[in-house]
Structure 1
């Protein structure tokens, strides 16, 4: 019975993380083949997903949906989270896909735990452990190999893709650290729901969702559904459900399925090719996150994968 429950948990987290990778590839298809923009997709995804999360929370009888607004400090925190954390990580990730591809965008975003290690070490005025320093160096080497193929004089991907990919990792770190107190007190559905809805509505004043030059077809509508529903809501649900059956540290390990699925699907559908050196670089980054996820001492780092899941 115990083994079957664990298997169910593993299956759920693999499905969830696989769907995140699929949603990145679906976004790449919308940008490259159907003329949609990252701005439009971010607005639509955030408003629809945020509204559904809040409605579901109310349906469950979660009073936190409105209690979160009773304190002034909460209002400031949720607005910062929505406009800088949530909107920031959503837009930079899609922009990285637009200028590069889903695989490299996803892999570069996985640098966020390394950024968090550096930030926490600076704030605590304490040097990272030897293992953490090793992980930082391994991640830096991984990025170097991905963007240069080992040749320092050339870039294998565009400067814009590197810029948005690294910025995506930075905003993901902000997204993870900034709302920690709100998440513990009010729950992820409530906090993330409001973050998505507020961020989406605010961004819609700059990029109205009704002004869309994309080509609406059966394929593009299916791709949008993959991003909004399967890659956000269903993936998020599967991930949270998996926590009922397996340990969070185990769950965070399986998030490595995401860059793998994004890479494989990018190769299949977009003929994206990776040199052996780039594959080694990607492996370095994935191994880095795996080491940090298994660490018992780096509890805050292990939470990155769990909280990052909500932003997908």
Structure 2
């Protein structure tokens, strides 16, 4: 029993680390290898979706069952466009315009947006704990983006806006996916959503049209392989697999490692300057996420 629990913990920690480091690797591709962010989103969605759906086909799952009911099929298409595609694109464009650490932390505003939504629709009462979490989030975001300097931003305004959009879209992604996940395997839901989103975005940025300024060398191919294989397909598979050994509550707690690894890997690998007050802001946001993880009645956000 202890060994199984240890396996679950390792799976959850590795998946969160892969997601966090994957964002930093994407920043490296955008800013040092001039990889076009639109092309990257198309390829990541297509290949990640193929890997996830293909893995289920290999173990004998009915991969087309999700399309057999009109309601489920329509909901999956909406989820693919407004959920999956918008989450992926807004997160990646925020990284390209700013940095992975900031984009990941801003995406983790999603739990607060979910709390606000439930309060507005009357499904949850506003509590002192909610007020504390919102204050932590607002204060942490302010410090993160300004490093305590009111008259300046530590990242471009456009990166900040896309990061907040990423958090909003992740909130929608989490809420809208619940009926699908209640009746369908999560890997198939995410895999098909990636495929549908990738096919549609391919009309915007075809995968065969690589930007002329892009630098393709050994390190580029290695980084692309990591972000697509480890940072997308394998990370999600490990996340789902961890639920076989530990509770969703525990998995979400270990998931707070994602923004931490994004920050640390950006500082260590890409020499990202990070001021004292930005560290305080990052701790506030991670404290908010950790606090939500200890409350079983609160909705959990999906992973990146």
Q: State if a TM-score over 0.5 links the two structures.
A: yes
Give the whole-Å Cα distance in 1 for the aligned partners of 2:66 and 2:259: 34
Show the counterpart of 1:186.
184
In the other structure, the counterpart of 1:54 is: 53
How far, CA to CA, are the matches of 1:70 and 1:29 in structure 2? 41
SS of match in other structure, 1:164: helix
Q: C-alpha offsets along residues 240-280 of structure 1, whole Å, 9 cap, x if unaligned?
A: 22222222111111111111111111111221121111100
Q: Does structure 1 retain, via aligned residues, the 8 Å contact 2:20–2:258?
A: yes
Aligned residue runs from structure 1 range 246-261, under 5 A:
246-261=246-261
1:88 aligned partner: 86
Task: Pick the structure with more helix per residue.
Answer: 1
What does 1:55-70 align with in structure 2 at a 5 Å threshold?
Answer: 55-63=54-62, 65-70=63-68
Q: Which residue of 1 aligns with 2:234?
A: 234
Aligned mates of 2:247, 2:64 — CA distance in 1? 31
Partner of 1:9: 8
Q: Residues 109 and 166 of structure 1 are in contact (CA less than 8 Å); yes or no, is this contact kept in structure 2?
A: yes
Contact 1:14/1:257 (<8 A) preserved? yes
Q: Counterparts in 2 of 1:122-141, with a 5 A limit?
A: 122-124=120-122, 126-141=124-139
1:126, distance to aligned residue in structure 2 (A): 4.7
TM-score of the superposition, structure 2-length normalised? 0.96
Name 1:212's counterpart in structure 2. Answer: 210
Q: Deviations over 1:274-305 (max 9, x none)?
A: 1111100000000001010111332xx2x31x
Task: State the alpha-carbon separation in 2 of the partners of residues 13 and 126 from structure 1.
Answer: 29
Q: Deviations over 1:34-83 (max 9, x none)?
A: 111211111001111111211222222222x2222222222221111111
3-state DSSP class of the match of 1:179? helix
3-state DSSP of counterpart to 2:64: helix
Q: How has the CA–CA distance of structure 1 residues 55 and 125 changed in structure 2, closer, same or farther, with 3 Å as cutoff?
A: closer
1:142 matched to which residue of 2? 140
Choose which of 98, 106, 109 in structure 1 pairs with 2:107: 109
Farther-moved stretch of structure 1 (17-26 vs 51-60): 51-60
In structure 1, C-alpha distance between the alignment counterparts of 2:296 and 2:269, rounded to whole Å = 39
1:7 & 1:189 partners in 2: Cα distance?
22
Match of 1:162 in 2: 160
Instruction: Give the match for residue 175 of structure 1.
Output: 173
In structure 1, distance between residues paired with 2:123 and 2:252: 27
Aligned residues: 302
Indicate if the aligned counterparts of 1:22 and 1:226 stay in contact, CA closer than 8 A.
no
Match of 2:36 in 1: 37
Task: State whether residues 187 and 240 of structure 2, in contact with CA within 8 Å, keep that contact through their aligned partners in structure 1.
Answer: no
What SS does the aligned partner of 2:67 have?
coil
Gaps of 5+ in 1: none
2:261 pairs with 1:245: no
| TM-score, structure 1 as length reference | 0.93
Question: What SS does the corresponding residue of 2:256 show, helix, strand or coil?
Answer: helix
Tell me how large the CA RMSD over aligned residues is: 1.3
